[in-house]
Structure 1
Amino acid sequence: MQQAHLKEDRVHGDPLYPIRVYEICCRPGEELLDLHWHDELEFLMLTKGKATFRVSMDDYELEAGEAIFVNGGQLHSGYITSEEECCFTAVVFHPDIVGNGRFDLVGEKYITPLIQQKYVIPAHISRQTAGEVELLELLLQVFDLNINELPLYELTTKGLLQLIISKLMMLGGPSYRELPPAVSPTHIDRLKLIIEYIQMNYSGPIRLEELAALVSFSESYFCRYFKNFTGKSPLEYLNQVRSQRAAYLLKDTDKKITEISLDVGFNTLSYFIGVFKAHFGCTPSEYRRKAHA
């Protein structure tokens, strides 16, 4: 699958229709959704298998037919939790499409506060209530309209997304909330800076002290802070990034495994093989054989 890293720089849809529907499938052992963020809003529905998705600091276990909502700028990721293929369909759209323009009452009263995370809304949409079931059925209509480009799909999709946002807000009350200090925009921005630094420099040596210094934290506080948001220690996340890059090189190049190990930042082959196997459940050579089978 084509995966997204960091802040996505792709354009979802086009300026006149900033909406795009994606269908993604992964086999067990593959990374379902790398940690990343984008400015657009997103609804993601699991259509096959089981997976856990992390949105901001919370984990959600999804089964087929359930969905998550990702607000603009929120860090999110996902991984497979079963031994079967896992698939999801997602719609990613710019908030302007549902009413976030200037001099727009809907935008001022609802969409802007939503983006600012001032409303209490669920990130996990299951099938436990009638309201959730209605929302999920509307999402399926959005997917079908855009995948098959049915007549008037652009106009109908815009209306459906507004209705979906309305139902999402009703599931939360609707009521206002105050963000806890741990998820303040400043804390999120610091984490994004660290993730971007790791993604840009993973091939070289990265020390814990330099990561902590980037955000002016002590090393001990930085480790707790990082794990609270990502569910991983800085070293675990760094090794994950390096293993994922190695997997791409194993599939897409003829480089020797020793060379790949050095290219992604591992100093010793034995350590690389151990980390890779812990992440993918097989050695690099086994992974290459499976990828080329």
Structure 2
Amino acid sequence: MPKVEKMDLDSSLKETITYESQMLHYGLYTAGYQRVFQADIPWHWHDEFELGYISGGSVVYQTSGLTVTLHEGDGIFINSGVLHYLHPLEPCREARLQTQFFDKSFLAGSLGSLLDIKYVAPVLDQRQLEAVPLYRSDPESKGFLECLQKGVELCSRKEEFFELRLRNLFSELWESIYRWAAQKESSTPSLRRSIEDDRIKQMMRYVQAHFSEKISVSSIAASIPISERECYRLFQNSMGITPIEYLISVRLQNAQSLLMNTNKSILDIALETGFGSSSYFGKIFRSHHRLTPAQYRNLSRQKALAAP
């Protein structure tokens, strides 16, 4: 049975990617280890480059500058360090992802090598290249998506020389990614964008640590510290939502996990996740999921029991 994946996030919302071998910085989540989720995957980031492929259902990907809906057979490139968020399109419908992660050493070898400086660093440094969606209906994306599937096959079979073939395959894919970065015009100075990224990550870290408490926009802003107006601007620019909308999303994500994985009462979950009352919790939950918390719990458990 495919397992529901729990992300390994540290206090800065950075995801830790686990490699099968520390000598080959490439990770694959697929087949029996597919990312199967019924709840949102919260805002997070990682140093690795990410290439995702939708192998079932439909998923909404969001970054600070992009919101796209991807269906089975579509894919996406996520640049290193980019905050992103995933949402299954339909309530309690399992969406499956084949996700391939790799860091710069997988392509370029040592830091500061010719390949690193000439081909990898320009992509990593292009902060305006957050993500590139790849649609199965687009002829230009078709070949790229087919190569992604070859990568999954190579790593799954692990035949002789598969590491060399895998690296060669991703070197070919990287030519397209490099061109995407070269074509992207930067409208925001890199230093300013870097500072804004750091600030939003600090505020998200504060919300993650204190979501169960009574917190406000002023307390979120004070965690930097910046003005409330600047706090609103950064959240809107980075994620397209207000600070309170982000707080609610964090509370809902934690509530979803408790509904699926514990027998705690609705009231206890409402109190534990900062909603304060079961009636307010139910109202917010229904507005986001079109289900009551109890209905969500029941459907989630039915799905788990029905899974092969």
Calculate the TM-score normalised by the size of structure 1: 0.88
Contact 1:7 1:38 in 2 (8 A): yes
Of residues 41, 53, 65 in structure 2, which corresponds to 1:45?
53
1:275 corresponds to: 284
Q: Structure 2: how far apart are the matches of 1:79 and 1:207?
A: 25
Separation (CA, whole Å) in 1 of partners of 2:282 and 2:173: 46
Q: Tell me how far apart the structure 1 counterparts of residues 119 and 184 of structure 2 sit (CA, whole Å).
A: 11
- Contact 1:46 1:63 (C-alpha < 8 Å) held by counterparts: yes
Letter in 2 for 1:2: E
C-alpha distance 200-148 of structure 1, shift in aligned 2 (>3 A): farther
Q: Which residue of 2 aligns with 1:289?
A: 298
Which amino acid counterpart does residue 40 of structure 1 have in structure 2? E
Identity of aligned residues (%): 27
Equivalent AA in structure 1 for residue 56 of structure 2: K
RMSD: 2.5
Residues 1:242 and 2:251 are matched in the alignment: yes
Aligned residue number for residue 36 of structure 2: 25
**Amino acid corresponding to residue 66 of structure 2 in structure 1:** D
213-222 or 124-133, which deviates more: 124-133
Distance 1:119 1:196, change over 3 A: closer
Structure 1 pair 75/118, CA: closer, same or farther in 2 (3 Å)? closer
Cross-structure match for 2:14 = 7
In the other structure, the counterpart of 1:79 is 87
Which residue number corresponds to residue 73 of structure 2?
65
Letter in 1 for 2:134: I
Distance in structure 2 (CA, Å) of the matches to 1:121 and 1:224: 19
Name the CA distance, whole Å, in 2 between partners of 1:280 and 1:14: 39
| SS of aligned partner of 2:225 | coil
Number of equivalenced pairs: 289
Q: Which amino acid aligns with 2:59?
A: A
**From 160, 170, 194, the counterpart of 1:161:** 170
2:286 is aligned with what amino acid? Answer: K
* Pick aligned residue for 2:23 from 16, 19, 40: 16
* Matched residue type, 1:68: I
**Pick from 183, 200, 213: which aligns with 2:209?**
200
How far the C-alpha of 1:38 sits from its partner, in A, is 0.4
Asked if 1:228 corresponds to 2:237, the answer is yes
The runs of 5 or more residues in structure 2 that have no matched partner are 303-308
Unaligned runs of 5+ in 1: none
3-state DSSP of counterpart to 1:184: helix
Between 15-24 and 280-289, report the one with greater CA deviation: 280-289
Q: Hey, what's the Cα distance between the residues in 2 that align with 1:162 and 1:131?
A: 18
- Aligned partner of 1:66: which letter? D
Match of 1:116 in 2: 125
Q: Write the distance in 1 (CA, Å) between the matches of 2:203 and 2:262.
A: 29
Q: Which ranges of 4 or more aligned residues in structure 1 deviate by more than 6 Å? A: 118-122
Hey, what's the Cα distance between the residues in 1 that align with 2:48 and 2:129?
19
CA distance in 1, matches of 2:181, 2:235: 31
Normalising by structure 2, report the TM-score.
0.84
Shift of 1:290: 2.3
1:189 Cα shift? 0.9
Alpha-carbon separation, structure 2, partners of 1:244 and 1:120: 27
Give 3-state SS (helix, strand or coil) of 2:141's partner: helix
Distance 1:117 1:223 in 2: 25
Q: Is the 1:120–1:174 Cα contact (8 Å) retained in structure 2?
A: no
The SS at the match of 1:123 is strand
Give the direction of change, closer, same or farther, for the CA distance of 1:41–1:273 in structure 2 (3 Å limit). same
8 Å Cα contact 1:55/1:123 also seen in 2: no
| Contact kept in structure 2, 1:35 and 1:76, CA below 8 Å | yes
Cα displacement (A) at 1:115: 0.9
- Cα gap change, 1:292/1:67 in structure 2, threshold over 3 Å: closer, same or farther? closer
Deviates more, 1:184-193 or 1:236-245: 236-245
Question: Separation in 2 of the partners of 1:203 and 1:281?
Answer: 23
Gap change, CA 1:256 and 1:103, over 3 Å in 2? closer
Cα distance in 2 between the residues matched to 1:119 and 1:277 = 35
Question: Tell me, what secondary structure is at the counterpart of 1:217?
Answer: coil
